[in-house]
Amino acid sequence: MYAVIKTGGKQYRVSPGDVIVVEKLLGDAGAKVKLDQVLMVGEDGKDPEVGAPLLASAAVNCEVVDQSRADKIIVFKKKRRQGYKRTKGHRQDQTVLRVLDINGKGAVKAAAKKTAPKKEEAPKAEAKAPAETSEKPVEKAKAPAKKKAAATKKKATATKQKAAPKKKAAAKKKEE
């Protein structure tokens, strides 16, 4: 079973179990959302029901997986020979949805929820605190390693400079 829905000015073809990214919708992660702007509903092997423009009795039930932001885009404006340049960035808000069912049909089984943290995990957090203090000397040990890398680069450039006179000597041999 599939449906064509409209949300955020765009149309999406969805089936139960699909995960889609749409324009921002209200609701926290785990909230249920009902999308009622359904344009078409169909099943394999049967003629689809097409709305004019919407199907009144159809709805798609979804679960909000995540509220996030899209990748950054750069907006650059320029007028040549005028000294005018402007750069702006933009990140669009988006919602990640998981389609549960269409009109109550084709429901997907919910994943098993994780249990609450056990009491045993709390002492582990305390054990991490002393480890953090020991990490600071490790960072100091990394600094000399960078110097060694710089020294190897200098040696590499020194070998290249020595190689140049050998090429000249080889060129003189060819001339003779």
Q: What is the DSSP string of 59-89?
A: -EEEEEEEEEEPPPEEEEEEETTTTEEEEEE
Nearest Cα to 97, choosing from 64, 68, 70, 60? Answer: 64
Cα–Cα distance measured from residue 85 to residue 101, given in angstroms and rounded to the nearest whole number: 49
Bridge partner residues of 99 (DSSP): 62
Which is more confident, 139 or 100? 100
Cα–Cα distance measured from residue 26 to residue 161, given in angstroms and rounded to the nearest whole number: 65
What would the mean pLDDT of 84-105 be, rounded to a whole number?
92
Task: Give the Cβ contact number of residue 148 at 10 Å.
Answer: 9
Bridge partner residues of 137 (DSSP): none
Nearest Cα to 49, choosing from 96, 98, 102? Answer: 102
In the block, residue with structure tokens 């340049």: 85
What does the chain come to in residues? Answer: 176
* Res 49: pLDDT: 87
Record the pTM.
Answer: 0.55
Residue 162 pLDDT greater than 70, yes or no:
no
- 141 confidence band (pLDDT: 50, 70, 90): very low
Mean per-residue pLDDT of the chain: 77
* Res 120: pLDDT: 53
Helices in the chain by DSSP H: which ranges?
121-175
- 56 confidence band (pLDDT: 50, 70, 90): confident
SS3 118: coil
Return the percentage of the chain with pLDDT > 90, whole number. Answer: 50
Phi, psi of 114 (to 5 degrees): -75, 145
DSSP designation for 33: E
Which is more confident, 27 or 154? 27
* Structure-token pair, residue 151: 């020294």
SS3 108: coil
The distance in angstroms from the start CA to the end CA of the chain is: 84
